[in-house]
Amino acid sequence: MSAGHDHAHHHQDHGHHGHAHVHAPANFNRAFAIGIGLNAAFVAIEAFYGWKVNSLALLADAGHNLSDVAGLVLAWGGTLAGKLPPSARNTYGFKRASILAAFANAVLLLVAMGSLAWEALGRFNAPVPTQGVTVMVVAGIGIVVNTATALLFMRGSAHDLNMRGAFLHMAGDALVSLGVVIAGALTLKFGWNWLDPAVSLAIAAVIVVGTWGLFRQSMHLLFDGVPDQIDLGAVKGYLQSLPGIERVHDLHVWAMGTSEVALTAHLVMPSGHPDDAFLKDINQHLHDQFDIDHVTVQVVKVPFTQPCQG
């Protein structure tokens, strides 16, 4: 028990001293705080003007933007929980919270787009005249707020699924606001009341297509799937190519969180046990070539466990 705890404690220390993890959290904490502040203020403004000019479109958009605030809070919560230190009861800490947050963000976006599409379909039957100029001005502010917030997360979205969830949520909303402005302008000019719901449907479709990847990937990681960026065949090939290794059994690769990958494997080595340098080289190579941080390998002369299909 105490040995496991010591290992957890050591791993926690390593996390604190690891140079790669020092700068990122502070930047994203600021990004989340700014993003949540901006979007909460925008929701308040939009709801007030929607109530003032009696615009269902603006009130609905304020509700939708409230889901953005929820999405950012989710992503931030996932990031912060993932940084909690491991303990004797949770030896991994809560790293998986970031995967859960990405999944919840994808579900939230898909539900929001479903409700937007439902609302739009209803409006084809009963077109609602829009209070053009007010709606366009408020939606214009929405473009600025959502684009600015999306840009805060752009840097992290390439490497971290949870950040990608926050980025997609914001970028999607900038698109919705842009659609409202264009539809509002054309409706004012030509009186096309059908254009507002048509544009809403088109945007909802675009965002659902964009979000589907996030939904699929986060679901895959929740079930301990091999992360998309890892070529399992190449990992197995590398381990089998090592001198003295006859076979690789029980190879498992999974995501501990949205930015940390773990690997366990049994290496069959009939000639005997290697020294620490051999194992250190494996760790180093897997880190440098495949970005796998948490490696545990067991070396045996004769396999004594039932080989896993993996």
Residue 129 — pLDDT band, cuts 50, 70, 90? low
CA distance 229 to 215: 16
**pLDDT higher than threshold 80 for residue 305:** no
- Banded pLDDT at 231 (limits 50, 70, 90): very high
Domain count, the chain: 2
3-class secondary structure per residue, 256-289 = EECCEEEEEEEEECCCCCCCHHHHHHHHHHHHHH
Whether 198 is covered by a domain: the verdict is yes
- Pairing mode, strands 260-268 and 294-300: parallel
Shared domain check, 151 and 18: yes
Count of CB atoms situated within 10 Å of the CB of 106: 25
pLDDT at 12 over 80: no
Residue 131 has pLDDT above 80, yes or no: no
Is the same domain home to 73 and 153? yes
Same domain (yes/no): 6, 107 = yes
Say if CB 257 and CB 82 are below 8 A apart.
yes
Strands 260-268 and 247-257: antiparallel
Residue 305 inside a domain? The answer is no
Backbone angles phi, psi at 178, to 5 degrees: -65, -40
Q: Which two tokens stand for residue 310?
A: 């993996």
DSSP letter at 310?
A: -
Same domain, 103 and 183: yes
Shared-domain flag, residues 69 and 156 = yes
The verdict on 152 and 39 lying in the same domain is yes
Which of 201, 222, 243 is a domain's end point? 222
> Does a structural domain hold residue 227?
no
**Residue that is last in its domain, among 222, 248, 268:** 222
- Rounded CA separation 226/291 (Å): 13
Whether residues 39 and 152 fall in one domain: yes
Token pair 């976006």 in the structure block, residue = 109
Round to whole Å and give the CA distance between 268 and 273: 10
Give me the DSSP letters along 1-16. Answer: -HHHHHHHHHHHHHHH
For residue 307, tell me if it sits in a domain: no
Residue position matching structure tokens 């898909």: 110
Do residues 66 and 14 both lie within one domain? yes
Which pLDDT belongs to residue 128?
64
Evaluate whether residue 257 is within a structural domain: yes
H and E: helices and strands count for the chain: 9, 3
Residue 236 lies in a domain: yes
Helix 97-125, helix 195-222: angle, nearest 10: 160
Range with the poorest average pLDDT among 57-61, 111-115, 122-126, 145-149 = 57-61
Q: What's the pLDDT tens digit per position in 240-255?
A: 999 999 999 999 999 9
173 and 73: one domain? Answer: yes
Task: Note down the domain range covering 68.
Answer: 2-222
CATH number where 276 lies? 3.30.300.30
Q: Is residue 292 a part of any domain in this protein?
A: yes
183 and 82 within one domain: yes
Is the predicted pLDDT of residue 6 greater than 90, yes or no? no
What is residue 11's predicted lDDT score, i.e. its pLDDT? 45
Residue 8: per-residue pLDDT: 44
Tell me if 12 is assigned to some domain. yes
Select from 222, 250, 277 the last residue of a domain: 222
Examine the pLDDT at 22 and tell me if it is beyond 50: no
**Is residue 46 located within the same domain as residue 178?**
yes
Domain containing residue 170: CATH number: 1.20.1510.10
Query: Are 153 and 56 members of one domain?
Result: yes
Residue 241: Cβ within 10 Å count: 8
Nearest to 139 by CA among 70, 45, 36: 45
Q: What is the pTM of this model?
A: 0.79
